[in-house]
Amino acid sequence: MSTPSDPAHTQPDPAPTSTAPTPTAPTDQAHAPATGAHAPATPAPSLIADERRRLINLAYRLLGSLAEAEDAVQETYARWYAMPRHRQEAVEVPAAWLTTVAGRICLDVLGSARVRREAYVGAWIPEPLPDRTEWFSGRSGGGGAESADPADQVTLDESVDMAFLVVLESMTPAERVAFILHDVFRYPFAEIAEIVDRTPAACRQLASSGRRRVRAARTPMVPAAGQTGLVRRFKEAWEARDIGALVGLLDPDATMTADGGGLVGAVLRPVRGSDRIAQYLIHIADKAPGLTLLERTVNGRPGLVAQHTGVPVTVAAFSLTADRVTHIWAVRNPEKLRSWTAPLES
C-alpha cells in the first residue's frame, strides 16, 4: 500500500476541481465553532453551499462510504439551517462550524458502523469511486456546471487509495478521526480535541497510533505506468482464461476479498494464494459469459470494471508490487456501485 509521502500533501483550496490532492489545509481560525461580539452578518447561502465539496472529501475519508458521507454532510447542513439567524450570525467562521459538526457526526456514524458491520454478510470493503473525468465523460450535460453527484466531489489522491482506506477500517473511530484530520487535512490537535472530546495530548497519541498502522501496511510505490501495465496484463490473462498467466501475475501469497453485501453472489471469505485466486477467477468467467472487462481508474489507481449487458456488476481495486498483484478488492454490492451506474442512468 502506498501512503501520502507528506502528511501535508493537501493544499488550501476549499473546492478542488482536479484530481490533485487538494482538501483544505486549515488556517489558525478555520476549524472550530466560534462566536463573538464582533461576529459578521449572516453568511451568504452561496458561501455555506461552497463548503460542500470539502465536507464530502472529509466525510468520505472518515467513513469509507460515499452514501454515508453524503448523509453526514446533509445532516450537517440541516443543523446549520435549523439554527436561528442570530446564532448563525454569531458564528465567526462558518466553515469551521460545519467541519466540527461534520466531524462529530462522522465520529458517531463510525461508532454505530462497527456494530452494523459485524452483522454484514461477508467482507465489508470501502465504497469504490470512479475518476469523474474518465468514467463520466459520456454523461449528458457533463463538462459545464459542476455535478451534484457526491462522487464528483471527491478529490482522488493517496488518501482515497483502496489499500489506505482498508487500513483506516482497522482503526478505532477516534483514532481514525484524529489521524485523518491531522495527517491528511493538517488540523491542529487542539481543534481535533473539540471534535473527539479528548485532550490535545490524547489526540496526538491517537494520530500516532493510526500512523503506525499505516506504516506497518506500507508497500513500495509502483510507478503509474507500471501499475497500468500490470493491471492490463491481468485483464488480458483473465479474458483469455489463461490460468498460468494469472498465477504468474499474482503474488504467491496474494489475497482476494469480495463484497456482495448479501445482495449478490460473492465469496464470503477471502481467497488466499495465487493458484486458488486464479481458479476462482476462471470459474467466475465461465459462469458469466459475455462479461466485459474495462480498464478504469478506481480510487485514483488503475483498476477493472466488469460489465454484464453493459451494466457494471463488479469494480476491482488492486494492491501491487513492481511485478505482482498482492491484493484484489472486488466490490459487487450494487448499493456501492451507484456512482458507477449513474452515467448509464443520465
- Which of 29-43, 102-116, 253-267 bottoms out in mean pLDDT, i.e. has the lowest? 29-43
The SS3 call for residue 257 is strand
Give pLDDT, residue 152.
Answer: 62
pLDDT more than 90, % of the chain: 66
Dihedrals phi, psi of 325, to nearest 5 degrees: -90, 125
* Average pLDDT score over the chain: 84
Query: Which class for 138: exposed (0-12), middle (13-18), buried (19 or more C-beta within 10 A)?
Result: exposed
Structure confidence at residue 187 (pLDDT): 93
Whether the pLDDT of residue 30 is over 50: the answer is no
Q: Per-residue confidence at 200, pLDDT binned at 50, 70, 90?
A: very high
In the predicted model, is pLDDT for residue 294 greater than 60? yes
pLDDT at 139 over 70: no
Closest CA to 304 of 229, 221, 231: 231
Buried b (16+ CB within 10 A) or exposed e, 247-282: bebbbeebbbbbbbbeeeebbeeebebbeebbebbb
Amino acid in position 107: L
Span 245-289, pLDDT tens digits: 999 999 999 999 999 999 999 999 999 999 999 999 999 888 888
The residue among 134, 89, 75, 122 whose CA lies nearest residue 303 is: 134
Contact partners, residue 79, CB within 8 Å, separation at least 6:
101
Distance CA 255, CA 334 (A): 22
Range 196-204 average pLDDT: 97
